[in-house]
Structure 1
Amino acid sequence: MNGAEVLMITFEHIRQAVALKAFDFGAAQERMAPKPRAILPENINKPPKEAGVLTLIYPEHDGLSIVLTRRTEHLRGHSGQISFPGGRRDPNDESFIATALRETQEELGVDREAIQVVGQLSPFYIPPSHFNVYPSVGIIQHKPIFKPNPHEVAEVFGFALSDLLNPDNKHEESHLFRGVRVQVPFYQVGRHKVWGATAVMLSEFEQRLRTIIG
């Protein structure tokens, strides 16, 4: 895929990619999932917690980009990691889409009314935090003026779709977790490594896009 083809990606391509029915989301997710991965022994008899996140896409420069955030270091869960805006579902949220929109507005100051949700990606289970994460995909017609909540967000940046589709930005490294050697794929986004659940959800979105644009 050359640069000219990448620049042709439009919001309509995004809509079509998210709407795909005959799509192997499991295989798409596994491309960037840490291996091995399994539920932790202490969580076997506990129901998973639930969260909603937003893959928010906006125009930037000559193409489209995805909003990513770096979480502050003092947060209890996934501190310092790269993530989509989002968080734990509130009992008052009518859906995971509502959770994602509420959290995006709270974390980044982006007006939820300006965001058009075009669909959802497949849920993904995160063993370390025992969360089922439900990602929604939204588009916004202009680059937002971000007003990050300093308690939750240390940094906001964009991941260009052209970079998402560039295989040179995919890497893998090995980590030791509870005595087990785990292979961890990641996307290199500037100086940031995007791995774990965020990379898995990006991988599904990437493969959906590839299916549409060829």
Structure 2
Amino acid sequence: MIDSSNWQTFKEALKLALQAEPLGMQAQVGMAPLPDVSQRFDKESAKKARQSAVMVLLYHEEGRIKFPLIVRPQYPGVHSGQIALPGGKFEEEDQNLIQTALRETHEEVGVSMHQVEVVGQLSELYVPPSNFNILPVIGLLSEVPQFILEEKEVEELVIADINVLNDKTKRKQKQMTFYSGINVDVPYFDIEDRVVWGATAMILNEFATIIHNINSKK
């Protein structure tokens, strides 16, 4: 288990782990909606997709290391009402996808780009339903953030403890009906009694693998 008593040690271990080759499909696929996941790992489709980035934003509070998730509002689209990491699409003003993640995090949850120490990134992930290729960025905060939500883009904030990612009792599965009308078996994280699935769960599964590896070296 990781808590804020070893925050500095954790930060250094995390930075070192993120310097290694990204874990990619082998870590992401464990939380992929079944049965057919081949499209999600189609490299050619990913190259042609719209580019985007999300932020896993870590901070310590009350003896725990935490990160925010956002609840998307209801809208006519494939990701309506879903739980996600702060983030969004690449804009021409962005120098790169890391800046996209920083800018979107500021816009959606009010955390200044200058407060975030970017320490690395996870594997890119292609999302066929919306044709986005996502770069997950890992950022650290030295203080507890004061979140200010962008009401048009964020309906609610969910604060997660990183230890939940490797808690086997929080990994569940249910059948869901996709927008296309197909019934699909979906693995998900139960975080604060919320269903965190799809691309967000796949990204968090890679991060969970990194956290597990750090814990196993203690």
Structure 1-normalised TM-score? Answer: 0.88
Q: SS of the residue aligned with 2:48?
A: coil
**1:189 equivalent in structure 2:** 191
Per-residue deviation at 1:19? 2.2
Match of 2:206 among 187, 204, 207: 204
Q: SS of the residue aligned with 1:31?
A: helix
- Within a 5 Å distance, the mapping from 1:53-202 to structure 2 comes to 53-74=54-75, 76-177=77-178, 178=180, 180-202=182-204
Please say if residues 158 and 192 of structure 2, whose CA atoms lie closer than 8 Å, have aligned partners that are also in contact.
no
Q: SS of the residue aligned with 1:147?
A: coil
More helix by share: 2
Per-residue deviation at 1:77? 5.0
Cα distance in structure 2, aligned partners of 1:206 and 1:174: 23
Cα distance in structure 1, aligned partners of 2:55 and 2:76: 19
Per-residue deviation at 1:60? 1.8
Give the paired residue count.
205
Please say if residues 58 and 65 of structure 1, whose CA atoms lie closer than 8 Å, have aligned partners that are also in contact.
yes
Please say if residues 16 and 212 of structure 1, whose CA atoms lie closer than 8 Å, have aligned partners that are also in contact.
no
Per-residue deviation at 1:16? 2.6
Per-residue deviation at 1:179? 5.1
Structure 2-normalised TM-score? Answer: 0.87
Cα distance in structure 2, aligned partners of 1:158 and 1:78: 20
Please say if residues 32 and 186 of structure 2, whose CA atoms lie closer than 8 Å, have aligned partners that are also in contact.
yes
Please report the RMSD computed on the Cα atoms of aligned residues, expressed in angstroms: 2.0
After superposition, the Cα gap between the structure-2 partners of 1:180 and 1:71, relative to the gap in structure 1 and judged at 3 Å, is closer
After superposition, the Cα gap between the structure-2 partners of 1:70 and 1:140, relative to the gap in structure 1 and judged at 3 Å, is same
**2:24 equivalent in structure 1:** 25
Per-residue deviation at 1:12? 2.2
Cα distance in structure 1, aligned partners of 2:174 and 2:65: 28
Q: SS of the residue aligned with 2:51?
A: strand
Counterpart residue identity of residue 155, structure 1: E
**1:16 equivalent in structure 2:** 16
Unaligned runs of at least 5 residues, structure 1: none
Question: What percent of counterpart residues are identical?
Answer: 34
Per-residue deviation at 1:39? 4.1
Per mean C-alpha deviation after superposition, the further-off stretch among 167-176 and 186-195 is 167-176
Moved over 4 A (4+): none
Per mean C-alpha deviation after superposition, the further-off stretch among 133-142 and 5-14 is 5-14
